[in-house]
C-alpha cells in the first residue's frame, strides 16, 4: 500500500511528519520504484525529517539535476544537428519541462530525448541525426518496418559517444490507435523557449501527457505521468483545454486525466468505475517497491496492445514477436 | 516480504527482504556483531525474490533486485542465498551510492593511514586485505573503498569478506571457525566463503583514514614492482569507480587530489608471503 502513502505525501507534504522509520523506508522504496524520489524530495523540502532521510533525498536531487543537465545538453546537440536542415526542435515531456523551468520538471527523472518534427521532414531529420553521430539501437527488420509503417516515431536511436537515446516523433499516438491527434496543430502552436528549442503549448502539453498515459501505454510509471499532469494543469484554463482536447480527439482521455490528477494529487474528484480501475493499477506498489495486483497489471499490459492495434494486426504482431522469443515481463 | 533484516555497514543502511528464511538467518548470524539497523531509515532496499511463483518452492531460484536492479541479472540457487544477499547490497552501492567516490578496491589501515588496493577480480586485492587484517592492520573493506569528497579520507565499508577459490583455504587457516560462513560451492564466481572481519574492524567502521599508498596488486606472477604515474592511476581508478561519472566535478576533484597526493605502485606477487614483504617495504619506505 505504499504507493498510496506516496500519493498522500505528495498531496499533503505535512503528513510526512507523522511517519516512523518503517513508514519512511516504505515511502522511499515506493518513491524510488515509481521514479518519484526526487520529486518527493522537492515536495517535502523544509519539513521535519528523521535522521538519515535528508542525505537520501539530497542524493536523489543531485541525480535529477545531473539528468536534467544532460537532457538539456542532449537537446542542444539535437537542435544543433537539425539547424542545418531548417527544422525547429520541439522537445516533449521531461526535457520540455526542464527547459521551460516548469514545476513538472522539478526533480523529474528524464530518460530519452523525445522530439516532435513534421512527418514530411522525417527522412531529412533521420539523415541529419545520423550525420551528427546518432545510430540505430538495434537492427531488426521486423521492428524497423513496424515502426516506420505503424508507429508515431522512428525506431529509437542512440548517440554513439554520449550513449543517450532519442525518439523522433511525428505525432503523439501510434497511427494504429483510434484517436487521431492533429499533429500539424501541435507544431503550429508550439512555443519557443530560448533561442533554439520549442515546446508544445501549455494545453497541448497536458493533452500529450494524458494521451501518453491513458491512450497508449500499460500505465507503467503512471504515478509519475499523473504527477506531470497535475503540475501541468496548474496554469491552465480547463475549458480551453477541453476545446483543444476535442480537436485532437482526446477529450475523454484528458477528462479522465483531470479527474485522476484531482483525485490523487489535488482537491478530489468524483471517479467513474473505470477511473477506479485505473487508480487501482496506479497504486499497485508495496512498501518493498514491489509491483502488486499482478493480474490487473497484466490486464493493463494486454490492454496497451489492444489500444495500439486492431485485433487481426495484434494477433499477427504477437505471433511474430512470440516466434522471436519475446515474452511479456 | 516474509523475512527481513536491516543492516548498517559503514555509512550505509540496508533493508534486506527475502521470500525465504535461510538467507536472512545466515546474514543474522554473520552480522551479529554489527550495530543494529532496526529503527533506522534504510538507504537501500534489497529484495531476494523468486524468479517466478513456482520457483519459490520448486528448485528455488533467487532474483536479486531492490531500489536498483539489473533486468538481466542471473538467477541464483537458494543454496547461495547468502551470496545473493551480499551481491544485492553491492549492487545498491555500485549503482546508487552518491555520498563518496566509490572505488572498487580493498583498504586496510595502520597508524591512522590507509593502504588502498585496486585491481580486477582475481588480482588478490581482497585476499591481501583479509590477510593483512589478521596481521596487525585494521581491515576497512575488501570490495569498496569510499573516498570522501571533502576531506580526501578513505572511509570503511567493512562488509563480510568474500573469499574465493584458493583464498578460502589460505585465509580459513588463519581465523576461528565461528568467523566463517558456509562454503558455497560452484557459484558463478567459483567456490565462495564469507568471513566476518575482526571485532575492531566492525567497531571502528565509522572511522576513516587518510590514504597513504595505492597499490595495483596482481597475484600469480613473478615478484615485480613498478611505480605507477598519476595519469595512469587516475585513469585506472575512474574505471574502478562505479559512480565517478554520476558525481561530476566533485568526483573529478576528489580523484585528482587522491592521485596527486598518494604514491602508487603496481606489484606482481607469486605468494602471500612475497606480497607481505613487498607491502611492508613500500609502507616503511616512503608511503
- Write down the pLDDT at residue A297: 87
When divided into structural domains, chain B yields a total of: 2
Residue B121: Cβ within 10 Å count: 9
- Write down the pLDDT at residue B287: 54
Given B59, B76, B96, the domain boundary residue is B96
Sequence-distant (6+) residues with CB within 8 A of A157 are A129, A130, A134, A135, A136, A137, A165, A166, A168
- Write down the pLDDT at residue B286: 64
User: Of the given ranges (A60-69, A86-95, A298-307), which has the lowest mean pLDDT?
Assistant: A298-307
Q: Cβ of A41 under 8 Å from any chain B Cβ?
A: no
Given B54, B81, B96, the domain boundary residue is B96
Is the same domain home to B137 and B276?
yes
Confidence bin at A328 (pLDDT 50/70/90)? low
Cα gap A310→B34, rounded to integer Å: 59
Q: Give me the residue label for grid cell 521514479.
A: A35
State the DSSP code for A291: B
State the DSSP code for B197: P
- Write down the pLDDT at residue A234: 95
**pLDDT, tens digit, 9 for 90 and up, residues A33-42:** 999 999 999 9
Q: Cβ of A220 under 8 Å from any chain B Cβ?
A: no
- Write down the pLDDT at residue A321: 80
Cα gap B93→B12, rounded to integer Å: 8
Is the same domain home to B147 and B190?
yes
Given B59, B79, B96, the domain boundary residue is B96
Q: What is the residue-averaged pLDDT of chain A?
A: 92
- Write down the pLDDT at residue B36: 82
**Three-state SS annotation for A174-190:** CCCCCCCCCHHHHHHCC
In chain B, DSSP finds a helix count (H) and a strand count (E) of 9, 16
- Write down the pLDDT at residue A329: 55
User: What ipTM did this prediction achieve?
Assistant: 0.92
Fold of A2-323: Beta Polymerase; domain 2 (3.30.460)
**pLDDT, tens digit, 9 for 90 and up, residues B185-218:** 999 989 999 999 999 999 999 999 999 999 999 9
Per DSSP, what are the bridge partners of residue B16? B5, B46
Q: At B155, which helix (H) or strand (E)?
A: strand B154-155
**pLDDT, tens digit, 9 for 90 and up, residues B158-186:** 999 999 998 898 888 888 999 999 999 99
Q: Residues B4, B16: contact at Cβ < 8 Å?
A: yes
- Write down the pLDDT at residue A304: 85
A51 and B40 within 8 Å at the Cβ level: the answer is yes
Is the same domain home to B92 and B38?
yes
| Strand A89-91, strand A113-116: pairing | antiparallel
- Write down the pLDDT at residue A1: 63
User: Which residues of chain A does B101 touch, with a Cβ-Cβ cutoff of 8 Å?
Assistant: none
Is the same domain home to B216 and B86?
no
Is the same domain home to B114 and B193?
yes
Is the same domain home to B83 and B186?
no
Domain ranges of chain A: 2-323
Is the same domain home to B269 and B194?
yes
Overall residue count recorded for chain B in this entry: 287
Smallest CA–CA distance, residue A124 to chain B, in Å, is 34
Confidence bin at B105 (pLDDT 50/70/90)? very high
Q: Residues B1, A287: contact at Cβ < 8 Å?
A: no
Q: At B48, which helix (H) or strand (E)?
A: strand B44-50
- The residue range of the domain holding B84 is 3-96
Is the same domain home to B54 and B182?
no
**pLDDT, tens digit, 9 for 90 and up, residues A122-155:** 999 999 999 999 999 877 888 888 888 778 888 8
**pLDDT, tens digit, 9 for 90 and up, residues B215-261:** 999 998 999 999 999 999 999 999 999 999 999 999 999 999 999 99
Smallest CA–CA distance, residue A253 to chain B, in Å, is 32
Q: Cβ of A24 under 8 Å from any chain B Cβ?
A: yes
- Write down the pLDDT at residue A199: 97
**pLDDT, tens digit, 9 for 90 and up, residues B4-48:** 999 999 999 999 999 999 999 999 999 999 998 888 999 999 999
Q: Cβ of A32 under 8 Å from any chain B Cβ?
A: yes
Which strands, in side-by-side order, build the sheet including B180-187? B161-164, B190-195, B180-187
B43 and A290 within 8 Å at the Cβ level: the answer is no
Residue A154 burial by Cβ neighbours in a 10 Å radius (0-12, 13-18, 19+): buried
Chain B residue with minimum CA distance to A50: B41
User: Which residues of chain A does B3 touch, with a Cβ-Cβ cutoff of 8 Å?
Assistant: none
Chain A residue with minimum CA distance to B43: A56
**pLDDT, tens digit, 9 for 90 and up, residues A277-324:** 999 999 999 999 999 988 988 888 888 887 777 777 777 777 888 887
Amino acid at each position: 500500500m505504499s504507493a498510496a502513502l506516496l500519493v498522500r505525501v505528495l498531496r499533503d507534504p505535512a503528513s510526512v511528519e507523522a511517519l516512523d522509520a518503517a513508514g519512511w523506508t516504505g515511502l522511499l522504496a515506493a518513491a524510488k520504484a515509481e521514479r518519484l524520489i526526487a520529486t518527493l524530495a522537492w515536495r517535502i523540502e523544509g519539513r521535519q525529517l528523521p535522521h538519515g532521510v535528508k542525505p537520501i533525498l539530497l542524493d536523489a536531487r543531485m541525480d535529477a539535476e545531473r539528468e536534467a543537465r544532460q537532457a538539456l545538453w542532449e537537446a542542444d546537440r539535437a537542435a544543433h544537428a537539425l539547424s542545418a536542415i531548417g527544422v525547429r526542435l520541439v522537445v516533449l515531456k521531461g526535457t520540455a519541462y526542464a527547459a521551460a523551468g516548469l514545476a513538472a520538471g522539478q526533480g523529474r527523472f528524464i530518460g530519452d530525448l523525445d522530439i516532435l518534427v513534421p512527418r514530411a521532414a522525417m527522412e531529412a531529420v533521420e539523415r541529419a541525426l545520423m550525420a551528427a553521430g546518432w545510430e540505430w539501437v538495434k537492427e531488426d527488420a521486423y521492428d524497423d518496418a513496424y515502426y516506420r509503417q505503424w508507429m508515431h516515431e522512428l525506431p529509437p536511436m542512440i548517440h554513439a559517444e554520449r550513449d543517450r537515446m532519442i525518439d523522433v516523433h511525428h505525432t503523439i499516438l501510434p497511427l494504429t490507435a483510434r484517436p487521431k491527434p492533429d499533429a500539424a496543430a501541435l507544431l503550429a502552436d508550439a512555443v519557443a523557449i530560448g533561442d533554439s528549442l520549442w515546446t508544445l503549448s501549455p494545453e497541448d502539453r497536458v493533452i500529450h501527457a494524458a494521451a501518453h498515459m491513458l491512450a497508449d501505454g500499460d500505465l507503467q510509471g503512471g504515478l509519475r505521468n499523473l504527477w506531470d499532469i497535475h503540475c501541468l494543469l496548474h496554469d491552465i484554463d480547463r475549458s480551453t483545454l477541453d476545446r483543444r482536447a476535442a480537436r485532437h480527439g482526446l477529450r475523454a482521455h484528458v477528462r479522465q486525466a483531470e479527474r485522476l490528477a484531482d483525485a490523487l494529487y489535488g482537491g478530489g474528484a468524483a471517479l467513474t468505475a473505470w477511473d477506479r480501475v485505473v487508480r487501482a493499477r496506479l497504486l499497485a506498489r508495496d512498501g518493498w517497491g514491489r509491483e502488486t495486483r499482478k493480474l490487473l497489471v497484466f490486464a493493463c499490459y494486454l490492454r496497451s496492445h489492444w489500444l495500439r492495434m486492431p485485433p487481426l494486426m495484434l494477433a499477427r504482431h504477437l505471433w511474430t514477436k512470440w516466434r522471436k522469443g519475446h515474452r511479456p515481463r | 516480504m516474509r523475512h527481513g533484516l536491516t543492516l548498517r555497514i559503514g555509512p550505509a543502511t540496508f533493508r534486506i527482504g527475502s521470500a525465504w528464511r535461510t538467507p536472512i538467518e545466515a546474514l543474522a548470524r554473520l552480522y551479529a556483531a554489527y550495530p543494529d539497523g532496526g529503527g533506522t531509515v534504510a538507504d537501500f532496499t534489497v529484495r531476494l525474490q523468486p524468479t517466478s511463483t513456482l520457483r519459490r518452492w520448486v528448485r528455488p531460484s533467487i532474483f536479486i533486485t531492490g531500489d536498483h536492479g539489473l533486468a538481466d541479472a542471473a538467477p541464483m540457487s537458494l543454496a547461495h542465498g547468502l551470496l545473493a544477499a551480499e551481491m544485492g547490497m553491492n549492487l545498491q552501492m555500485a549503482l546508487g551510492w552518491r555520498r563518496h567516490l566509490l572505488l572498487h578496491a580493498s583498504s586496510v589501515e595502520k597508524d591512522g593511514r590507509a593502504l588502498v588496493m585496486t585491481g580486477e577480480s582475481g588480482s588478490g586485492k581482497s585476499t591481501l586485505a583479509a590477510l593483512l587484517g589478521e596481521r596487525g592492520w585494521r581491515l576497512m573493506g575488501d570490495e569498496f573503498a569510499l573516498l570522501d569528497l571533502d576531506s580526501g579520507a578513505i572511509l570503511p565499508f567493512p562488509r563480510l569478506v568474500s573469499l574465493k577459490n584458493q583464498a578460502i583455504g589460505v585465509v580459513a587457516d588463519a581465523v576461528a571457525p565461528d568467523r566463517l560462513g558456509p562454503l558455497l560451492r560452484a557459484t558463478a564466481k567459483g567456490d565462495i566463503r564469507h568471513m566476518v572481519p575482526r571485532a575492531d574492524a566492525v567497531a571502528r567502521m565509522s572511522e576513516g583514514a587518510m590514504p597513504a599508498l595505492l597499490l595495483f596488486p596482481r597475484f600469480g606472477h613473478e615478484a615485480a614492482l613498478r611505480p605507477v604515474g598519476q595519469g595512469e592511476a587516475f585513469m585506472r581508478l575512474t574505471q574502478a569507480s562505479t559512480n565517478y561519472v554520476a558525481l561530476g566535478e566533485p568526483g573529478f576533484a576528489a580523484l585528482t587530489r587522491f592521485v596527486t597526493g598518494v604514491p602508487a605502485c603496481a606489484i606482481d606477487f607469486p605468494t602471500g608471503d612475497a606480497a607481505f614483504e613487498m607491502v611492508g617495504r613500500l609502507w616503511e619506505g616512503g608511503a
